């Protein structure tokens, strides 16, 4: 018997399109996402050359542009529902209560939201933002880095497949620091990264990245960590910045990552780095 075809489309999105029409397979969706990241990285690297940038932007548009990338991302996230992971973990930790309860709901900010799944969680008070919203009536079109620090910080932040999209190492460090600033002490950051970023990077590995997060005040919770063949899931708790971790990170980052482990030069994760 053949495998049952997985139903896609939760979160109110349509199948992504490429030059060849709608994309229904996860494999094709992942290729669209990978091509988008590769092209945007090249655009960032060539930003001083207007002619080269124009050529790359035309290629990006031919591949579906931002909308094609977002729709492909939405299809991919159906295979690893971030919203279910967040809701289940918060429930296990005793952070949420029945919808009928009069207890306050955790204030959640989802950065880089490609669907509305988390907004459907009735036990959470969710604000969803993205640079380019697929659902403008529900997901705000906002640059996270432009948000002013709120008077009341968030209890929970959700960052799925976003940090790896930030164009360079200093900007990733700036985002990590900003995440800590808008998260209340003791609050939780749910982060998802491509596993290749921590396995193939020529600069840092998983252990070093955890040190980097601790350095800015985001301490990993070991019991709330898991990986799949392609993804890294972790829950980090807002704490005081760890200067010792920062020193260890800066020293060890100067050494090749992976203790002699062979790194894949052509992997999209090869260039992943954070410069504190």
* φ, ψ at 140 (rounded to 5°): -70, 140
Cβ-based burial of 33 (10 A; exposed 0-12, middle 13-18, buried ≥19): buried
What are the sequence ranges of the domains in the chain?
17-77, 82-271
What average pLDDT does this structure show over 138-151?
A: 90
Residue by residue, DSSP assigns 102-153 as -SPPPEEEEET--SSTGGG-TTSEEEEEESS-SSTTTSEE--GGGPPPPSS-
SS3 185: strand
Q: Does domain 82-271 have CATH number 3.40.640.10?
A: no
SS3 176: helix
Number of Cβ atoms within 10 Å of the Cβ of 134:
22
pLDDT tens figures, 175-232: 999 999 999 999 999 999 999 999 999 999 999 999 999 999 999 999 999 999 989 9
pLDDT the model gives residue 11: 45
pLDDT, the chain, mean: 83
Q: What is the pTM of this model?
A: 0.78
CA geometry: angle at 220 spanning 218 and 225, to 5°?
Answer: 140
Confidence bin at 1 (pLDDT 50/70/90)? very low
Q: Are 228 and 267 in contact (CB under 8 A)?
A: no
Tokens 């990338």 sit on residue: 69
Is a pLDDT exceeding 90 seen at residue 37?
no
What percentage of residues in the chain have a pLDDT greater than 90?
57
Is a pLDDT exceeding 80 seen at residue 155?
yes
More confident residue, 39 or 194: 194
For the chain, counts of helices (H) and of strands (E): 8, 9
Is a pLDDT exceeding 70 seen at residue 73?
no
Q: Are 39 and 63 in contact (CB under 8 A)?
A: yes
């Amino acid at each position: 018997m053949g495998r049952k075809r997985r139903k896609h489309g939760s979160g109110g999105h349509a199948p992504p399109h490429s030059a060849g029409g709608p994309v229904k397979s996860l494999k094709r969706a992942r290729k669209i996402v990978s091509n988008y990241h590769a092209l945007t990285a090249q655009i960032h690297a060539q930003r001083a050359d207007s002619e080269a940038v124009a050529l790359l932007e035309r290629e990006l548009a031919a591949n579906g542009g931002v909308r094609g990338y977002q729709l492909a991302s939405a299809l991919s996230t159906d295979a690893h529902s971030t919203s279910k992971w967040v809701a289940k973990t918060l429930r296990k930790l005793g952070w949420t209560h029945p919808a009928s309860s009069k207890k306050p709901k955790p204030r959640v900010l989802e950065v880089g939201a490609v669907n509305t799944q988390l907004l459907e969680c009735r036990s959470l008070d969710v604000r969803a933002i993205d640079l380019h919203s697929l659902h403008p009536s529900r997901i705000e079109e906002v640059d996270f880095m432009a948000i002013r620090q709120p008077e009341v910080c968030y209890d929970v932040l959700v960052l799925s497949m976003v940090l790896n999209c930030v164009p360079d190492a200093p900007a990733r460090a700036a985002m990590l620091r900003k995440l800590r600033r808008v998260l209340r002490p003791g609050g939780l950051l749910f982060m998802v990264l491509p596993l290749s970023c921590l396995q193939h990077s020529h600069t840092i590995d998983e252990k070093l990245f955890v040190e980097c997060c601790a350095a800015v005040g985001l301490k990993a919770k070991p019991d709330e960590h898991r990986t799949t063949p392609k993804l890294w899931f972790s829950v980090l708790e807002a704490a005081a910045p760890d200067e010792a971790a920062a020193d260890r990170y800066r020293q060890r980052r100067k050494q090749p990552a992976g203790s002699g482990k062979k790194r894949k030069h052509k992997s999209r994760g090869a260039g992943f780095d954070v410069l504190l």
